[in-house]
A and B are shown apart, each in its own frame.
Chain A
């Protein structure tokens, strides 16, 4: 099973919005509402930001939102702040035997 496809980089100025895409297939992203997003700062462990496509864990700012259309999921960061600069990874249930697949990651730069 192949990794999900993410753009390698994205950028925006403070206060702006940026959207990161995550494209899979009908066997993973398109087949289930089980997409999650993780934020990873350099040298740190990933942190859960979005689960089940659109839901935010407690403590995650509402500037972070998720959506999905067909085989593509998206993470939108609104009102960009300097601390949002990090790598972002999507993850999806792969449909069989609890298989999971990650995206290749997107480096978000706050200009």
Chain B
């Protein structure tokens, strides 16, 4: 059974960089396959926002509203992919989820449990 697990600091100072890693177990992140790996966030009490995704080859796709601040990378040797969000503000306080997108079904079929990141001094 595929599992995804987010990890990283739960508190980030304003103007600094938020960094999270998603570790995938029970399946490989690499190889030619119809899977993309993405990040979605949810501010407290609010809805979901797609941040971006990456293919195992390194091709990346970002939400235009965040594009200038977001970087997603992949480390196939560790079966991990990562998120960096620069110049954070309180508005970036959210639960951050990693998820797998199954391209044949155009949907996010496996999700991590989510990790709360608070931006505060």
Q: Is the CB of A91 within 8 A of B107?
A: yes
Given A102-B48, A105-B48: A52 touches B113 (CB 8 Å cut-off): no
Which residues of B have CB within 8 Å of A34? 106
Interface of B (DSSP majority class): strand
Q: How many chain-B residues does the 8 Å CB contact rule pick out?
A: 23
Which residues of B have CB within 8 Å of A51? 105-107, 109
Q: Is the CB of A1 within 8 A of B64?
A: yes
Binds B, one of A12-20, A72-80, A92-100: A92-100
Question: A101 within 8 Å of B by Cβ?
Answer: yes
Docked Cα-Cα span, A47 to B50, in Å, equals: 15
Q: How many chain-A residues does the 8 Å CB contact rule pick out?
A: 27
Given A99-B64, A105-B47: A46 touches B108 (CB 8 Å cut-off): yes
Which residues of B have CB within 8 Å of A38? 48, 108
On B, residues with C-beta under 8 Å from A are 36, 38, 40, 47-50, 53, 61-65, 97, 105-109, 111-114
